[in-house]
C-alpha cells in the first residue's frame, strides 16, 4: 500500500467526529491492507513502531524536525519557525512548504507504508553520538519523497502529535468488522490483545494465520498482560451480597508492578505496560531469588523507612520511577513489593484458574525468599461484619482499604469486572473516594492565572460501552504554581484543532487536547447537571457532575481507558444518595 493512501485515511479520520464513521473508515482500510503491512498500519495508526514495552520511541524534537523540513524544502529555519508560531502545527507547515518547495529531488519516488515504517523504526533505534544527525537525515529523505498530505503526517508522527483520536479498542472493532463476523469472535481478538498488549502483533497474526492462531496465544514472560481492574461497591453488606464468601485483601497505595521472570532474566512493567526494569534494581534482584523457571505475578510496590518500617505515601513511592539517579533513590527510598496475584508459573498459564487456587500457588511461589517481596495480607470472610472488621483494621494501619475477591473467579485480563471489588473508605455524606479523570481540554487563565497557558481543565471519565470519554467537571483547584506551569506545557504539546472523535461534550473549551493524561480528583459530591455528558439521561437532559472538584495528584501512570468509568460514577451517586437518605 502506498503511504499516500494511508495518509488520506489519516486525513479522513482527522476530519470526523463520529466513532462509528471512524470504525467504518478503518474497516475499509484493513480490507485493502496487504498482510505484510497490516501490522505496520495498526502501529502507525497509534503513531508508534512498537508497543510501549519495547521502548522504541520515534520521538524527535521540534528543532530537529524544523531542520529536516528546511533541508527538504529549501526554506530557511526562521521562516519555518514563524509559520509554526502562526499555525501551532509543524505538520501543516510541512504540508504547505512541500507543496511550494523551491527544490525538487531528481530521484524522488512514491513511498510505501513499509518504506515509512522502516524509516521511523530506524529513527527509533538510532542511538549514540551521531544519532540526531541520523534521525534528521531519515526524516529529510521521507520529506523529499512526500506529497504535501504525506508530509503532514511524516512530521506529526515523530512529534507524537498524530491527532487521529484512534484507540486500540476502535482498531479491534474495525478488525472484527472485517474478520470476526460476530461478537464471540471479537472476543478472540480482545483476548489476544489483552495477553500481549500489542495491537500490531494481533493484527499481523490475524492476517497471516487467522482467528484460530489468535486462539492459541498464551502468556509469554517478558511480554506484559493488560492488568485486571476493580469494580466498586459502597459497603461490606453490598459486597457480601454480590460475592458471598470472599477474600478480603489489603489495598496498598503504591506503584503497580507486573513482575516477569524466566531463566533468571527479570522484566518489570507498569500498569501502562511500559518497561520499568531499569528503574527498580532492588526489586529485580529480589525477583531473581524466586526459585522458578518462569513466573508472572501482579504486585504493588511501596517505599518504606528501613529504620521504622513505616510506609511512605504514594508521592514518595512514585519518585522511584525515574530514568536518572536510580541507584541513589533506591538507597534513599527502598521498596517492598506486595504480590497479590499470579498469572503464570513454571510454564503454565493460571489466568483461568480460580482465585483461591492462584492464591495458594502465589504463596508457595514467592513468599519467604526475599525480605523485599511479601504476599499481600488477606483474610477469607463470610459475613458483612467480618469484612467490615478487616476493612477497619487495614484503614487504621494507614492502608487504602480492601479489595474483595471472588474466590472462584479467573484473573480477568484487561477487564473491570466484579471478580475484584474495592472498598476504599466509609461514605459520610460527602464524596470521600477519589476519581481518576482524563484531561479533555482546557480554558485559558484569567486574573492572576492569565500568565499560565490554562486556568481550568475540562475533565472526563471513560465509557467502555462506546469507547468514549464523557465530561464530568471543570477543574481549577488543587494546582500549585509549578503544576500550572508543568500542566500548561504538557497540554500545549497535545493540543488538537477540533474535538477528538472519542470525546462527548456539550462544553466547548478554549482548546481541545488529545485524551492522553489521567489525574486524580476529590470532590464534595456528585450532582446532576445539564452541562456534562457523564451518564447522560436524554429524558431528563442531565448527566452527572462533580461539585467542588480538586486535583490531588500529578499525571498518573494510567491509560485513559483505565480512568474511572461512567458506571462507577453512577454507582458512587447511588451510594451517596443512600448515605444522605434521599
pLDDT, tens only, 475-496: 988 777 777 777 888 888 888 8
Q: Which CATH number characterizes residue 446's domain?
A: 2.40.50.140
Q: Determine, yes or no, domain membership for 132.
A: yes
Distance CA 416, CA 409 (A): 13
| Whether residue 445 sits in one domain with residue 379 | no
Q: Which domain holds residue 51?
A: 47-159
Q: Determine, yes or no, domain membership for 402.
A: yes
Residue pair 535/504 in contact by the 8 Å Cβ criterion:
no
Q: Which CATH number characterizes residue 344's domain?
A: 3.30.470.30
Cell 489519516 belongs to which residue?
Answer: 10
| Whether residue 530 sits in one domain with residue 446 | yes
| Whether residue 268 sits in one domain with residue 294 | yes
Q: Identify the pLDDT of residue 485.
A: 78
Phi, psi of 400 (to 5 degrees): -75, -25
Select from 438, 517, 427, 444 the least CA-distant residue to 472.
Answer: 438
Q: Which CATH number characterizes residue 111's domain?
A: 1.10.3260.10
| Whether residue 415 sits in one domain with residue 292 | yes
Distance CA 335, CA 331 (A): 9
Distance CA 226, CA 271 (A): 7
Q: Determine, yes or no, domain membership for 109.
A: yes
pLDDT, tens only, 429-469: 345 578 999 999 999 877 656 666 778 899 999 998 888 99
When divided into structural domains, the chain yields a total of 3
403 DSSP β-pair partners: 249, 422
| Whether residue 512 sits in one domain with residue 411 | no
Residue 151: Cβ-neighbour burial (10 angstroms; 0-12, 13-18, 19+): buried
Q: Identify the pLDDT of residue 450.
A: 63
DSSP string for 259-279: EEEETTEEEEE-TT--B-GGG
| Whether residue 322 sits in one domain with residue 241 | yes
Q: Determine, yes or no, domain membership for 189.
A: no
| Whether residue 264 sits in one domain with residue 404 | yes
Phi, psi of 506 (to 5 degrees): -90, -20
Q: Determine, yes or no, domain membership for 174.
A: no
Q: Identify the pLDDT of residue 65.
A: 94
Distance CA 270, CA 319 (A): 14
Picking from 101, 133, 159, the residue at the C-terminal end of a domain is 159
Show the low-confidence residues of the chain (pLDDT under 70): 102-108, 182-184, 304-333, 425-432, 447-452, 577-582
Three-state DSSP at 212 gives helix
* Residues with Cβ within 8 Å of residue 137, at least 6 apart in sequence: none
DSSP string for 395-452: HHTT--EEEEEETT----TT-EEEEEEEE-----SS--S-EEEEEEEEE---GGGTTS
Q: Determine, yes or no, domain membership for 303.
A: yes
Cell 503511504 belongs to which residue?
Answer: 3
| Whether residue 397 sits in one domain with residue 263 | yes
From residue 358, give the alpha-carbon distance in Å to each of 336, 402, 508. Answer: 21, 19, 48
Picking from 159, 188, 218, the residue at the C-terminal end of a domain is 159
Q: Determine, yes or no, domain membership for 429.
A: no
CA atoms within 13 A on the CB side of 168: 26
Max Cα-Cα span within the chain: 81
From residue 50, give the alpha-carbon distance in Å to each of 46, 54, 55, 202, 473. Answer: 10, 6, 8, 12, 34
* Residues with Cβ within 8 Å of residue 560, at least 6 apart in sequence: 167, 438, 462, 469, 515, 516, 517, 518
Three-state DSSP at 456 gives strand
Sort strands 378-381 and 246-251 into parallel, antiparallel or unpaired.
Answer: antiparallel
Residue 287: Cβ-neighbour burial (10 angstroms; 0-12, 13-18, 19+): buried
| Whether residue 309 sits in one domain with residue 410 | yes
Q: Determine, yes or no, domain membership for 3.
A: no
Q: Identify the pLDDT of residue 496.
A: 83
| Whether residue 374 sits in one domain with residue 269 | yes
As a residue count, the chain comes to 582
Q: Is the pTM of this model over 0.85?
A: no
Picking from 141, 159, 177, the residue at the C-terminal end of a domain is 159
Three-state DSSP at 325 gives coil
| Whether residue 401 sits in one domain with residue 500 | no
From residue 96, give the alpha-carbon distance in Å to each of 67, 72, 75, 208, 496. Answer: 16, 12, 11, 39, 18
| Whether residue 238 sits in one domain with residue 385 | yes
Q: Identify the pLDDT of residue 66.
A: 95
Distance CA 196, CA 492 (A): 32
> Tell me, what DSSP letter sits at residue 310?
P
Cell 500542566 belongs to which residue?
Answer: 487
| Residues annotated catalytic, as ranges | 251
Amino acid at each position: 500500500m502506498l503511504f499516500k493512501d494511508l495518509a488520506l485515511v489519516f486525513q479522513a479520520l482527522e476530519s470526523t467526529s463520529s466513532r462509528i464513521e471512524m470504525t467504518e473508515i478503518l474497516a475499509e482500510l484493513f480490507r485493502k491492507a496487504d498482510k505484510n503491512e497490516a501490522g505496520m498500519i495498526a502501529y502507525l495508526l497509534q503513531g508508534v513502531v512498537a508497543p510501549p514495552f519495547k521502548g522504541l520511541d520515534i520521538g524527535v524534537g521540534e528543532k530537529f524536525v524544523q531542520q529536516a523540513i528546511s533541508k527538504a524544502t529549501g526554506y530557511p529555519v526562521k521562516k519555518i519557525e514563524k509559520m509554526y508560531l502562526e499555525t501551532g502545527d509543524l505538520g501543516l507547515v510541512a504540508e504547505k512548504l512541500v507543496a511550494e518547495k523551491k527544490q525538487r529531488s531528481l530521484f524522488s519516488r512514491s513511498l510505501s507504508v513499509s518504506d515509512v515504517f522502516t524509516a521511523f523504526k530506524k529513527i527509533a533505534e538510532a542511538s549514540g553520538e551521531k544519532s540526531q544527525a541520523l534521525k534528521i537525515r531519515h526524516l529529510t529523505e521521507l520529506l523529499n519523497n512526500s506529497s504535501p498530505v504525506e508530509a503532514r503526517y511524516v512530521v506529526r508522527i515523530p512529534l507524537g502529535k498524530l491527532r487521529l483520536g484512534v484507540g486500540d479498542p476502535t482498531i479491534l472493532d474495525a478488525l472484527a468488522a472485517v474478520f470476526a463476523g460476530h461478537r464471540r469472535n471479537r472476543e478472540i481478538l480482545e483476548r489476544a490483545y489483552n495477553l500481549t498488549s500489542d495491537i500490531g502483533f494481533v493484527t499481523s497474526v490475524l492476517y497471516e494465520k487467522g482467528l484460530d492462531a489468535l486462539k492459541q496465544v498464551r502468556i509469554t514472560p517478558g511480554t506484559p498482560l493488560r492488568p485486571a481492574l476493580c469494580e466498586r461497591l459502597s459497603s461490606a453488606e453490598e459486597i457480601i451480597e454480590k460475592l458471598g464468601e470472599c477474600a478480603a485483601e489489603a489495598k496498598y497505595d503504591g506503584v503497580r508492578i507486573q513482575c516477569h521472570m524466566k531463566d533468571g532474566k527479570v522484566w518489570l512493567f507498569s500498569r501502562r505496560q511500559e518497561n520499568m526494569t531499569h528503574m527498580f534494581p532492588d526489586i529485580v534482584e529480589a525477583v531473581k531469588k524466586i526459585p522458578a523457571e518462569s513466573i508472572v505475578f501482579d504486585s504493588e510496590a511501596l517505599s518504606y523507612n528501613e529504620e521504622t518500617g513505616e510506609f511512605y505515601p504514594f508521592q514518595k513511592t512514585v519518585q522511584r520511577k525515574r530514568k536518572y539517579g536510580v541507584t541513589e533513590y533506591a538507597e534513599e527510598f527502598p521498596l517492598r513489593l506486595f504480590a497479590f496475584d499470579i498469572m503464570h508459573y513454571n510454564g503454565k498459564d493460571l489466568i483461568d484458574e480460580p482465585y483461591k487456587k492462584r492464591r495458594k500457588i502465589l504463596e508457595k511461589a514467592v513468599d519467604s525468599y526475599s525480605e523485599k517481596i511479601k504476599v499481600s495480607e488477606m483474610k477469607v470472610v463470610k459475613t458483612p461484619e467480618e469484612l467490615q472488621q478487616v476493612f477497619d483494621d487495614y484503614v487504621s494501619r494507614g492502608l487504602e482499604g480492601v479489595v474483595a475477591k471472588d474466590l472462584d473467579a479467573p484473573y480477568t485480563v484487561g477487564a473491570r469486572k466484579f471478580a475484584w471489588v474495592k472498598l476504599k473508605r466509609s461514605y459520610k455524606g460527602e464524596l470521600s473516594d477519589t476519581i481518576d479523570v482524563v484531561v479533555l481540554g482546557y480554558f485559558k487563565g484569567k486574573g492572576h492565572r492569565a500568565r499560565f497557558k490554562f486556568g481550568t481543565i475540562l475533565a472526563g471519565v471513560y465509557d467502555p460501552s462506546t469507547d468514549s470519554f464523557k465530561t464530568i467537571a471543570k477543574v481549577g483547584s488543587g494546582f500549585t504554581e509549578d503544576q500550572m506551569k508543568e500542566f500548561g506545557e504538557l497540554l500545549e504539546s497535545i493540543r488538537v484543532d477540533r474535538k477528538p472523535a472519542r470525546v462527548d461534550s456539550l462544553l466547548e473549551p478554549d482548546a481541545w487536547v488529545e485524551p492522553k493524561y489521567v489525574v486524580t480528583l476529590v470532590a464534595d459530591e456528585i450532582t446532576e447537571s445539564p452541562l456534562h455528558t457523564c451518564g447522560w439521561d436524554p429524558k431528563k437532559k442531565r448527566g452527572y457532575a462533580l461539585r467542588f472538584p480538586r486535583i490531588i495528584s500529578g499525571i498518573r501512570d494510567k491509560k485513559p481507558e483505565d480512568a474511572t468509568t461512567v458506571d462507577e460514577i453512577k454507582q458512587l451517586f447511588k451510594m451517596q444518595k443512600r448515605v444522605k437518605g434521599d
